[in-house]
Amino acid sequence: MNIGITCYPTYGGSGIVATELGMELAARGHQVHFITYANPIRLDPGTPRIHYHEVEVSNYPLFQYPPYCLALSSRMADVAEAYALDLLHVHYAIPHSISAMLAQQMLAPKRRLPFITTLHGTDITLVGADPSYFSITKFSIERSDGVTAISDYLRQQTVDVFGISNQIRVIKNFVNCDLYHPDNSKSGAAAYSAVGEKLLIHLSNFRPVKRALDCVRILAEVRRKAPARLLMVGDGPDRGPAEHLARELKVDRHVLFLGKQDHVERIIPLAHVLLMPSDMESFGLVALEAMACGVVPVATRVGGVPELITDGEDGYLEAPGDIVAQATRVTALLTDDALHSRMAGAGRWNASERFCSEKIIPQYEQYYEDVVSARQMG
């Protein structure tokens, strides 16, 4: 198939999933066309059957804000016509599904162009629930030819918040289990940690919902009982406050802020424990990547996370903001090798059996077929 994919190309779960999906589809023989304003961060445009089409937005004095939504629609229509796309797959409802709908209407006199919208979380829980975006988000979902959600939790949220009657197919996030795999020797960890120290890791876009500062507080608690160092991967508004808090708690020598990293699959396996203390996660992609690498997640019991992590088996779930409880779990994992080994093994098994690419990508391929044939029959 010829598939057009649009996503936010910056750091964040939706863009990462969209990019990984495109690369997996290309590896399975599909032609994949990314249509967005910048090259997605994890995308190698030199990959066979991957094509990148930049959306250029002109700045005119008349416009206070550049009309990206319109420029995107126009580019989608151009690419769809030039490359005979079978469908568009947009990630994140606003504004991508509206742009896809406009592109569909632009081509309607000549041909049908179905589009699928994948909901990732904040497009529903934050943006869509904002009164100024509520109606347009609901409209964009209802006008989509297909809708997917990354967790049962998010599907139910979408129904509850918007009263959507469309069928929403749940296709959960996935991980490339060949790329993300354990490194039991953890020999590369010496580049980041002192002798005897075990590594904790946090990866996010450092928005307040990710509670990056809690990671620093957890480290301070853990270090009372076990030597540990924390890798903070990513960037965003809470990075400065987290650095300040590390100095305040006198653990700054034990926290490394690594910024944005293109190859997290090389860093994650070096850690023993992943910290994911978020206020909300619709799925928790980084926890899945960690589990595939044999890194045990200590996370929060929110959103779709319990659909991924089984508390006490392949990770731990605690309440958001409960620093002591989370630190207690981390300390146990760092000081009990048998416990860590058992849970790390269970996490890798869970990732492999339920969420590896080869289990999930065929679900997208089947959905594409369903949506395209439904449109043709209609």
Query: The domain 2-174+357-377: what is its CATH number?
Result: 3.40.50.2000
Residue 334 · residue 1 · CB < 8 Å: no
In which element (H, E) is residue 346 found?
helix 337-350
Cα distance between residue 244 and residue 110, in whole Å: 58
Q: How many residues can be counted in the chain?
A: 378
Q: What is the full per-residue pLDDT of the chain (378 aa) written as tens digits?
A: 999 999 988 766 788 889 999 999 999 999 999 999 888 877 877 889 999 999 988 777 777 777 888 999 999 999 999 999 999 999 988 889 999 999 999 999 899 999 999 998 877 766 656 788 888 889 999 999 999 999 999 999 999 888 988 899 999 999 999 999 999 888 888 889 888 899 999 999 999 999 999 999 999 999 999 999 999 999 999 999 999 999 999 999 999 999 988 889 999 999 999 999 999 999 999 999 999 999 999 999 999 999 999 999 999 999 999 999 999 999 999 999 999 999 999 999 999 999 999 999 999 999 999 999 985 443
Cα distance between residue 107 and residue 183, in whole Å: 50
Sign of CA dihedral 118, 273, 189, 182: negative
pLDDT digits (tens, 9 = 90+) for 209-232: 999 999 999 999 999 999 999 999
CATH fold group of domain 187-355: Rossmann fold (3.40.50)
Q: Where are the domains of the chain?
A: 2-174+357-377, 187-355
For 169-248, strand residue ranges (E) read 169-170, 198-204, 228-234
Answer whether 2-174+357-377 and 187-355 agree in fold. yes
Say which residues have a Cβ less than 8 Å from residue 72's Cβ, sequence separation at least 6.
Answer: 6, 35, 36, 37, 55, 95, 96, 99
> Residue 37 CA to chain centroid, in angstroms?
19
Among 303, 284, 302, residue whose Cα is nearest residue 347: 284
